[in-house]
Amino acid sequence: MLLTICVIYIPPNIIISQNELNELGNQLPAPFIIMGDWNGHSSLWGSQDTNARGLQIEKFISDHNLCLLNYSTRTFFHAPSRSFHTLDLAICSPSILARWNFSVDEDLHNSDHFPIILSHTSNNLTIPRQPPHCIYDRANWQVFKDLSELAPHIVHLADIYAAVEAVSNCIIKAAEASIPKTSGKIKKLSKPW
pLDDT tens digit sequence for 15-64: 999 999 999 999 999 999 999 999 999 988 988 889 999 999 999 999 99
The total number of structural domains that make up the chain: 2
85 within a domain of the structure (yes/no): yes
Host domain of residue 146: 126-187
pLDDT(83) > 90:
no
Q: For residue 35, what are the contacts with CB-CB under 8 A and spacing of at least 6?
A: 5, 6, 7, 8, 88, 89, 90, 91, 116, 118
Angstrom distances, CA of residue 83 to CA of 47, 104, 106, 181 = 11, 16, 15, 30
Q: For residue 4, name the pLDDT band (cuts at 50, 70, 90).
A: very high
- Helix/strand/coil for 11: coil
* Confidence (pTM): 0.61
Average pLDDT, rounded, for the chain: 85
Residue 163 confidence (pLDDT): 81
Q: For residue 92, name the pLDDT band (cuts at 50, 70, 90).
A: very high
Here the CATH number for the domain that contains residue 81 is 3.60.10.10
Q: Are residues 49 and 134 in the same domain?
A: no
192 within a domain of the structure (yes/no): no
Q: Are residues 9 and 56 in the same domain?
A: yes
Q: Are residues 37 and 107 in the same domain?
A: yes
Task: State the average pLDDT over residues 107-135.
Answer: 76
pLDDT(135) > 90:
no
193 within a domain of the structure (yes/no): no
